[in-house]
């Protein structure tokens, strides 16, 4: 039974959250900058004080118990509040470690501008970038592995707050000399019967493209077994005359410069997607993420 007078320390909570996050004592200790015995002792003290087993240990694996899963969100919220308190005392909001998740169809085109801008505007911030597909980023937010994620909205995930950033249009990439090359009056119906190349399962851009086709009763042609994990690969397949593809407008300068390609754009209102930030509603850093959103928007206009 939990001793109602027991007060866990922040070090104990950090040990618990780190082990739950990495499922490995050595990795957790390294990330916290402590020895493994120190980490183990902090976790054991927390469990003894609570009278609960939070982490199940074995020689082969580390598991979070049912009690651990129940208490983990509260531990994360407590640590976030403490971090925010220290940041407020220092007179700056956006500072310290920021674990930023970002989807692959955004990362290569936003980070070259965003990271230098963050260094200039908020030099006390130490961003850690984690590129992954949407579903895993949302899991990371819920479990506390990530602080904030940049992805396509709406995420429709309970317990998360979303900040819309901006909307970007889709552009059709075609082989050089294609019948649609240079068109600026496409409609989604023009995708019907086209050999449309898509990203692999799990990428939200794939889902958005398929949703667009379904909404306009367009039925792209089959493209065989061609599969790709990145926009760069998809675009190179287009250059090789394997089909056509839709990419975000932000990717056009970087991706269409590699190969013999043309583009076509849609008549207004052009199809596209809204990008934004998502973070836990329990966090005490909501104001920080509003500032991050402002920096991203401003960087896009420069």
Note the pLDDT of residue 53: 95
Give ∠ CA 125-130-134 in degrees, rounded to 5: 125
Other Cβ atoms closer than 10 A to 117? 15
Confidence of residue 10 (pLDDT cuts 50, 70, 90): very high
pLDDT of residue 87: 66
Which one is predicted more confidently, 123 or 22?
Answer: 123
Mean pLDDT of 181-188: 94
pLDDT band at 54 (very low <50, low <70, confident <90, very high): very high
Residue 287: CA atoms inside 13 Å, Cβ hemisphere, count? 10
Q: What is the pLDDT of residue 91?
A: 58
Tokens of 70: 């129940």
Residue 42: per-residue pLDDT: 95
pLDDT at 22 over 70: yes
Which has the closest alpha carbon to 224: 196, 245, 190?
196
From the CB of residue 148, how many other CB atoms can be counted at a distance below 10 Å? 26
Confidence check: pLDDT of 175 > 90:
yes
Residue 14 burial (10 A CB sphere; 0-12, 13-18, 19+): buried
pLDDT at 115 over 70: yes
The rounded distance, in Å, linking the Cα atoms of 236 and 247 is: 12
Residue 214 scores a pLDDT above 70: yes
Percentage above 70 pLDDT, the chain: 94
pLDDT at 88 over 90: no
Q: Is the peptide bond before 246 cis (omega within 30 degrees of 0)?
A: no
What is the pLDDT at residue 56? 93
Which structure tokens are listed for 85?
């308190």
Q: What is the pTM of this model?
A: 0.75
> Which pLDDT score, from 0 to 100, does residue 92 have?
59
Q: In the structure, what pLDDT confidence band is assigned to residue 31 with cuts at 50, 70 and 90? A: confident
pLDDT digits (tens, 9 = 90+) for 240-293: 999 999 999 999 999 988 668 999 999 999 999 999 999 998 887 888 899 999
Beta-strand relationship, 160-175 and 261-264? antiparallel
The answer to whether 17 and 72 are in contact (CB under 8 A) is yes
Percent of the chain whose predicted confidence (pLDDT) is above 90 = 56
Residue 108 banded pLDDT, cuts 50, 70, 90: very high
Nearest to 249 by CA among 173, 142, 138: 173
Judged against a pLDDT cut of 80, whether residue 85 lies above it is answered with: no
228 pLDDT higher than 80: yes
What span, in angstroms and rounded, lies between the C-alpha atoms of 210 and 250? 20
Residue 264's contacts (CB-CB under 8 Å, 6 or more residues apart) are 171, 172, 174, 178, 180, 181, 182, 183, 184, 186
pLDDT digits (tens, 9 = 90+) for 129-167: 999 999 989 988 887 788 899 999 998 888 899 999 999
pLDDT of residue 1: 56
Average pLDDT, the chain: 88
């Amino acid at each position: 039974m939990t001793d109602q007078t027991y007060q866990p320390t922040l070090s104990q909570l950090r040990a618990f959250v780190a082990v739950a996050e990495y499922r490995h004592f050595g990795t957790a200790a390294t990330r916290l900058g402590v020895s493994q015995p120190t980490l183990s002792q902090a976790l054991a003290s927390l469990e003894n004080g609570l009278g609960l087993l939070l982490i199940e240990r074995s020689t082969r694996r580390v598991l979070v118990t049912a009690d651990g899963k129940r208490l983990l969100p509260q531990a994360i919220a407590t640590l976030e509040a403490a971090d925010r308190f220290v940041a407020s005392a220092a007179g700056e909001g956006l500072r310290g470690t920021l674990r930023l998740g970002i989807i692959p169809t955004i990362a290569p085109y936003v980070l070259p501008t965003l990271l230098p801008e963050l260094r200039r505007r908020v030099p006390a911030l130490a961003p850690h970038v984690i590129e992954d597909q949407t579903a895993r980023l949302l899991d990371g937010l819920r479990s506390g592995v990530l602080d904030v994620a940049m992805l396509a909205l709406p995420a429709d995930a309970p317990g998360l707050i979303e900040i819309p950033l901006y909307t970007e249009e889709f552009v059709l990439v075609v082989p050089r000399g294609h019948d649609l090359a240079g068109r600026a009056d496409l409609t989604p119906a023009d995708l019907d019967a086209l050999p449309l190349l898509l990203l692999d399962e799990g990428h939200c851009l794939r889902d958005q493209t398929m949703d667009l086709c379904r909404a306009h009763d367009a039925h792209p042609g089959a493209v065989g077994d061609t599969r790709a994990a990145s926009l760069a690969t998809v675009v190179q397949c287009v250059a090789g005359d394997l089909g056509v593809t839709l990419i975000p407008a932000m990717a056009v300068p970087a991706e269409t410069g590699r190969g013999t390609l043309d583009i076509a754009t849609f008549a207004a209102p052009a199809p596209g997607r809204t990008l934004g930030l998502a973070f836990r509603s329990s966090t005490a850093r909501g104001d920080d993420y509003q500032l991050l959103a402002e920096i991203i928007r401003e960087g896009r206009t420069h």
